[in-house]
Structure 1
Amino acid sequence: MPRIDELLAAGPTYSFEFFPPRTDAGEAKLRATLNELEPLGPSFVSVTYGAGGSTRERTHQIVVDMLEHTTMTPMAHLTAVCHTRDELADILARYRDAGVKNILALRGDAPQDVEPFWELERAIDLVELAREVGGGQFAIGVAAHPEGHPSSRVLAEDRRHLATKLTAADFGVTQFFFTVDAYLAMVDAVRSHGCDTPIVPGVMPVTNVRQIERFAQLSGAAFPTELGDRLHAVEDDAAEVARIGIEVATQLCRDLLDAGAPGLHFYTLNSSTATREIYANLGLPAATR
């Protein structure tokens, strides 16, 4: 199985993100989505991790199943919140022993139903633990927020910390955003701190207006007023909302690739339709990776 840093060194990557379902129906939907997207030949696919490890075993199961039964290269998300160092080391050792080579190391947001704690206080601490446990096997990614982490009060400090974190990792993947300028400003800022780690932009096409506005608020992404006005004008027409969302996401992807982004990471929300349409609009090559 290839490492993501090696894939990025060879050229642009195109990747998809999924979340572990909590029900049998959700699992059936995810498997159908995977079957529909696998023929596109993604460079890699990632599987998220629930707050406080709430989807710990499902994440592990899906990642290992992808590794053993599909042609896709999986990346496992892992968060430090509500885990001891020993627990995290054990999870990493299980991935190492299963042959998984790609990890996204995250500090993690506080879950709503339990008192949070962080024995590893920063994502960079989890990166260092993954290096230690993996013994060189893992390519390790970290998250980046183009408009600043929502808990950060000073953008310049956020950029400095981001550059330090990225330098310790092999690659970054951003939260979703809506303008190419937001991504380029972040990249320029971390480069000014001497960091040249590749940062893959994350794209989430709008398919539900209220949902995307809620996600944007939680992640700190600025939701453009003009786009909001267009979508709210047709919010009772699901097909038109999806059409506009796909059109806007396609243009953002084109702008990012034209600006030299090292790839595209699609937040699928466990559905294939929008991702497949954007992929086709961009004329991306299928089943070549």
Structure 2
Amino acid sequence: MFDYDEEAERYDASRGGEARAAAAASAVLGLIPEGTVTLLDAACGTGIVTRRLAEADLDVTGADAAYGMLRRATERVPGRVVLADIRQLPFPCASFDAVSAIWLLHLLDDAEKVVAEAARVLRPGGVFVATVDKAASHDVGSDIDAVMAPRPRRAARDRSDLVASYADRHALLPAGRASFRGCGQGRAPARAAADVRRGWYTLLPPGEPLTEKLASRLEQLPGQHVPRQEPEFKLRAFRKPGPVPRPGPELGSGPLPSPTSSPGPPTDA
């Protein structure tokens, strides 16, 4: 299991940093309705996207299960993050106008619980926005992808049609699609080989014959340090039936609940 507490200090730099965060936040903002005031950023990680959502004049709350990631998030959005299991949120029903879940659903065997909780905490007319098809987004048809084609793959848990079926079961209606560039995430062969050897690819344990074979083939590709095409991440939005939320004195008021004591799933990757 990937250790997000250990990875927190280098997480942003290894995943596109501020440029990727800006692209993600812009795409999310484009899918939430006018009049949105309160937003929950589920699995907020280091808060790098959360901060940009807050800068858009939203009353934003971040929630995550990893202590290390939340320590970084509290530096970016102080007083606006809580430790929480994203599958069992510590918020009452109808608490938020919008919920975002960026780079989360692909990590979970029980991703439907995230969709169910989003539906529960949304106000009528509110929107849930989530990334989908993350693994597929990284397959850009490069020579790296050709080398990695023989690797075993786990069934995608954030397939767009699967997430849509979860939304439908929890009475959320399709409300839009968007995409954004994974800035700084084009893979270079040398980095890909190192990641394979350190066990970053699911179902390729370090030291196994296939792991070593694929890493060696990656090291033979030309342009070892030249990044290939960047991925294009996809977003789906789903709306809770009811009137679109409008600003009012009751929105965004009141203190945050106390953090939960038992962390849940890992944060985004």
Higher relative contact order (CA 8 A, sep 6+): 2
TM-score > 0.5, shorter chain as reference: no
| TM-score, normalised relative to structure 2 | 0.37
Return the structure number with greater helix share: 1
